[in-house]
Chain A
Amino acid sequence: MTFSDVLLQQVINGVSLGAMYALLALGFTMVYGIIELINFTHFSVFMVGSFIAMAVLLAVGLSGQSVILTGLPLVAVLLLALVVTMLATGTLGVVIERTALRPLRNVPGTAAMITTIGLAYILTNLVLLLVGAQQENYPNPLPNLTWHLGGATVHLREVLVWVVAAVLMLGLQLFVHHTKLGKAMQATAQDAEAARMMGVDVDRVVLTAFFLGSALAGAAGLIFGLYYNVVDFQIGYTAGLRAFTAAVLGGIGNIPGAMLGGLLIGLIESVGGQLIAVRWTDVIIFSILVLVLVFRPTGLLGRSLAQRS
């Protein structure tokens, strides 16, 4: 393998990681865009989603990598896991908003944000209690199909990640720009009081943002399991922080920004890891977070502060 092949391979890996981070970053950014809340529970919802998807895959008879499916059964099983997981995590997000966060909506300061941290601990420890601290071998029915791109290899799992992420993000864009509720979401993010004066039910818009964001986090959880083949109760922390960095890098509150930021963070992780050293990955990513916050707090695609007021 030549150096350029290695680099190409890392780009392929990076785009896959990035697609997952982007799905996760969208949840942060949608909620922030509407109620200016950094929702740290999102980390745990993603992790819970990974376990829910695992439960679905186990329930249909898979275990570890021993059962390999192809063709229609494969598509059906993955689709089932994806849909069930997204509905479940979406509902979890709605329950969290409705019970724990809505009562704090108009409380000034950081009460709501601190609450999301507390909820994240509760969810993480519930999973720890239920499944234990050990790494779980993720049921993975994907056949070992590969394609060659120059000297680099593309696995089926990468193609799967790309397709799922692309379809979901396209769906989200269509929803936001072409449905009434999507427009209400945009309007609320731009001027909540004016949206209310148009008759928009802002509570419903907030619930929608939580449902969609959490559903996408569930999808990212399934992708994580299929990509790495192992999960444990702590996966939310690292992936969540990277996705949060992606949301800030793209411009928090900005939906295309979260997609771009996710992709960039994925690429930085894999290409940066290759060029420098994997153990420096977190240093690189979080240095970027610091630099963005210092020099361009509105992110790459974020609007300037003056425009926002």
Chain B
Amino acid sequence: MLEFRDVDTFYGELHVLKAVNYKIEQGEIVCLLGGNACGKSTTMKTVLGVVQPKRGAVVLEGEDISRLSTAERVRRGIAPVPEARRLFPRMTVYENLMMGAYTRKDKAAIAEDLERVYELFPRVKERLAQSAGTLSGGEQQMVAMGRALMARPRLLCMDEPSMGLSPAYVEQVFEIIQEINRQGTTIFVVEQNANMALSIAHRGYVLQTGEVMLHGTASELLGNEWLQKVYLGQAEATPAPR
């Protein structure tokens, strides 16, 4: 469905992604793991066209979309749930949801999708008239996911969906990600919370300083010793110095 072919991305002089390859198949949940500043968010921005690759290609269903605008990509079925939600804080929840459907003109289908979002997120339905900026972090995450679904995406790109959420909300968010996937949407999710991400993903990639260090099925990655030690927190924690 989506492929990165030897993608190099720069911020000015800074080489962020180095000859990166990903392959995401239709119907999968694929997670991208890695520490801070390893290129996870840049990957998301490259998928969406906020950042252009210097070399290599981003390919969606056989079509090179590397030079397409974000709007064109949204029309082709990619929708983002950006890092830190990025809702429009002084617009209502309803207006935020409808911004997700910005590129669409099929009114009847938009109404259907709105119903589907209300079903997935009953809490969101209760808050429709409220300014998005006044919601709690968890509620904002729900609205951000709902907003992305309003684009009727075939590929949903989620950047750190668990960031800043309470454990109860994290669990809820990941359950809903699985539900969305079961309903037929392919999901590419960037996550710091590696355990959580691998528990729902089919496959995963591990990124370190802009390079893919490791990739495989979720169970392979969960069984990988190095990964266990570095990211999954199974190794004994070093006691804090007193």
Known A-B contacts A187-B99, A194-B86; A199 and B71 likewise in contact (beta carbons under 8 Å): yes
* A252 → chain B closest CB, angstroms: 15
* A49 → chain B closest CB, angstroms: 31
Which of the candidate stretches B20-28, B87-95, B192-200, B204-212 sits at the interface with the other chain?
A: B87-95
Tell me the nearest residue of chain B to A186, going by C-beta: B91
B133 close to chain A: CB less than 8 A: yes
B75 close to chain A: CB less than 8 A: yes
Tell me the nearest residue of chain A to B69, going by C-beta: A201
A195 CB contacts on chain B under 8 angstroms: 88, 99
Task: State whether A183 touches B71 (Cβ < 8 A).
Answer: no
Interface size for A (C-beta < 8 A) is 18
- The listed residue (B74, B82, B88, B151) touching A187 by CB distance below 8 A is B88
- The listed residue (A186, A198, A307) touching B102 by CB distance below 8 A is A198
* B158 → chain A closest CB, angstroms: 12
Interface string of A179-196 (1 = CB under 8 A from B): 010011011001101111
Scan residues 203-237 of chain B and give those whose CB is less than 8 A from a CB of chain A.
none
Known A-B contacts A190-B89, A193-B50, A307-B89; A198 and B100 likewise in contact (beta carbons under 8 Å): yes
Task: State whether B88 touches A180 (Cβ < 8 A).
Answer: no
Scan residues 34-80 of chain B and give those whose CB is less than 8 A from a CB of chain A.
48, 50, 69-71, 74-75, 80
A107 close to chain B: CB less than 8 A: no
User: What band does the interface of chain B fall in when counting residues whose beta carbon is under 8 Å from A?
Assistant: 20 to 34
Task: State whether B86 touches A180 (Cβ < 8 A).
Answer: no
Known A-B contacts A194-B86, A307-B89; A199 and B70 likewise in contact (beta carbons under 8 Å): yes
Known A-B contacts A190-B90, A190-B91, A193-B50; A198 and B133 likewise in contact (beta carbons under 8 Å): no
Bound Cα distance A184, B133 (Å)? 17
Bound Cα distance A307, B50 (Å)? 24
A200 close to chain B: CB less than 8 A: yes
B172 close to chain A: CB less than 8 A: no
B103 close to chain A: CB less than 8 A: yes
Bound Cα distance A197, B91 (Å)? 16
A193 CB contacts on chain B under 8 angstroms: 50, 82, 86
Bound Cα distance A180, B105 (Å)? 11
* B99 → chain A closest CB, angstroms: 5
B98 close to chain A: CB less than 8 A: yes
Tell me the nearest residue of chain A to B105, going by C-beta: A180
Tell me the nearest residue of chain A to B90, going by C-beta: A190
Bound Cα distance A199, B70 (Å)? 6
Bound Cα distance A199, B99 (Å)? 9
Interface string of B113-124 (1 = CB under 8 A from A): 000000000000
Scan residues 160-184 of chain A and give those whose CB is less than 8 A from a CB of chain B.
180, 183-184
Bound Cα distance A194, B44 (Å)? 13
Interface string of A188-221 (1 = CB under 8 A from B): 0011011111111100000000000000000000
- The listed residue (A183, A194, A197) touching B98 by CB distance below 8 A is A183
A187 CB contacts on chain B under 8 angstroms: 88, 91, 99
Bound Cα distance A200, B103 (Å)? 8
Tell me the nearest residue of chain B to A194, going by C-beta: B86
Scan residues 282-309 of chain A and give those whose CB is less than 8 A from a CB of chain B.
303, 307
Task: State whether B50 touches A180 (Cβ < 8 A).
Answer: no
Known A-B contacts A183-B98, A307-B133; A199 and B75 likewise in contact (beta carbons under 8 Å): yes
Bound Cα distance A184, B95 (Å)? 10
* B113 → chain A closest CB, angstroms: 14
A186 CB contacts on chain B under 8 angstroms: 88, 90-91, 95
* B51 → chain A closest CB, angstroms: 11
B98 CB contacts on chain A under 8 angstroms: 183
A307 CB contacts on chain B under 8 angstroms: 89, 133
Bound Cα distance A24, B103 (Å)? 32
Bound Cα distance A200, B82 (Å)? 15
Known A-B contacts A183-B98, A191-B86, A194-B82; A199 and B103 likewise in contact (beta carbons under 8 Å): yes
Tell me the nearest residue of chain A to B104, going by C-beta: A199
B91 CB contacts on chain A under 8 angstroms: 183, 186-187, 190
Task: State whether A197 touches B48 (Cβ < 8 A).
Answer: yes
Task: State whether B86 touches A197 (Cβ < 8 A).
Answer: yes
Task: State whether A200 touches B50 (Cβ < 8 A).
Answer: no
B88 CB contacts on chain A under 8 angstroms: 186-187, 190-191, 194-195
Known A-B contacts A187-B88, A187-B91, A307-B89; A197 and B133 likewise in contact (beta carbons under 8 Å): no
Contacts A/B (CB < 8 Å), 6 sampled: A186-B88, A187-B88, A187-B91, A187-B99, A194-B82, A196-B50
Taking A191-B89, A200-B99 as known contacts, 15 extra A-B pairs with beta carbons closer than 8 A to each other, sorted by chain A number, are: A183-B91, A183-B99, A186-B95, A190-B91, A193-B86, A194-B87, A195-B88, A197-B48, A197-B50, A197-B80, A198-B74, A199-B70, A199-B103, A200-B102, A201-B69
Nearest 5 pairs of A and B residues by beta carbon:
A199-B74, A199-B103, A194-B86, A199-B71, A190-B88
